[in-house]
Amino acid sequence: MRKFILYANIMVLLFFLATDLMADVVTVFEHTYVRETGSPKARTNTFSGIKGPATIRVTNGGLEGADNKKVSNADIVLNGETIIDSSNFHQNVEIVDVEKTLDGRINTIEVTVKGKPGGALTVQVLAEDGDVDFDGDGFTRVDGDCDDNNSSVNPGATEIKKNGIDDDCNALTPDDDTGVNLPPDPGEEGKKTLLGIDTDGDGVRDDIQRYIYFTYPDDKKLRLGLTYYAIEFQGVLKDANDREASYDHATKMHRNVECLFYLKDEEAIDICNALRAKILNTRERSMAYITYSDNLGGRVISGAPLKEWKGSCSFDVDDTGGDQ
């Protein structure tokens, strides 16, 4: 009985391990080729490198729902090798799957559609996502590529210190020798919403928090000034449709700008412009800023006298370390 229970537990464990290891099959390439008038012409496309097995699927007439006629014949050449011709593809064929093992290089596919004009076929290339080199840097997820959407990040890259990125995908060569706890780079996910991602809840978007630190790692006072400016800017975007809230944010941002001028004089102009460009990095954010600006029409924002700009800082300048 105990042996049976042990065996059953092992089988359950193996089942879950197998489930975890199963990779998703993704469509690496998809294109519909239509027979045009005139002599048949070969059309060439490329797709990402795949290290391992791939399925080249050819659907006569196009995918489900397509309003296309079938073709009577076609020639398809993959990386110089003919994989489809009249021997395995004709007008009575619905779908043909050709299995190939690829070597990781960028692939070239050449398609010549034959028969009467108007016919079409769709070529798809399917593979397990871990075998696909999406960014073309020569490494797949199975190879240890920790960011396969960034060709400069892979196990063969050189680690760049203090850029906040694990360039070589190796935890043994970290670049976080900054002495601070920064949130991870949100990447493209951080651009999908108006307010972005703020994982530590400090009021500053993660990408902006990282930008401020890595751009000015040796100037703590400037980083603080820009942080308060960025917090207020986040409110600008959030309340862009509220006229009174927009005016309140504008007044506070003006104080923050006075602080930055106290810290950096006229250099603050370029510093603020650069930060604003980073903040308004999507169309949605730019449109929200335009709405905010429109809400300020006819309103007057009074500035503090030059001698009081130090007091415009939202932190104690004298008790803060760093340059100045």
Q: Mean pLDDT, to the nearest integer, of 53-67?
A: 88
Q: Mean pLDDT, to the nearest integer, of 167-186?
A: 73
Record the tokens describing residue 190, joined without a space.
């951080």
pLDDT score at 5: 42
pLDDT score at 8: 42
Give the model's confidence band at 107: pLDDT under 50 very low, under 70 low, under 90 confident, else very high: very high
| pLDDT for residue 46 is more than 90 | yes
Least confident of 14-18, 174-178, 234-238, 251-255: 14-18
Kindly provide the b/e burial profile for residues 82-113, where b requires at least 16 CB atoms within 10 angstroms of the residue's own CB.
ebbeeeebbeebeebebebebebeebebebbb
pLDDT score at 224: 93
Chain mean pLDDT for the chain = 86
Residue type, 279: I
Give the model's confidence band at 17: pLDDT under 50 very low, under 70 low, under 90 confident, else very high: very low
Give the global pTM.
Answer: 0.49
Give the model's confidence band at 283: pLDDT under 50 very low, under 70 low, under 90 confident, else very high: very high
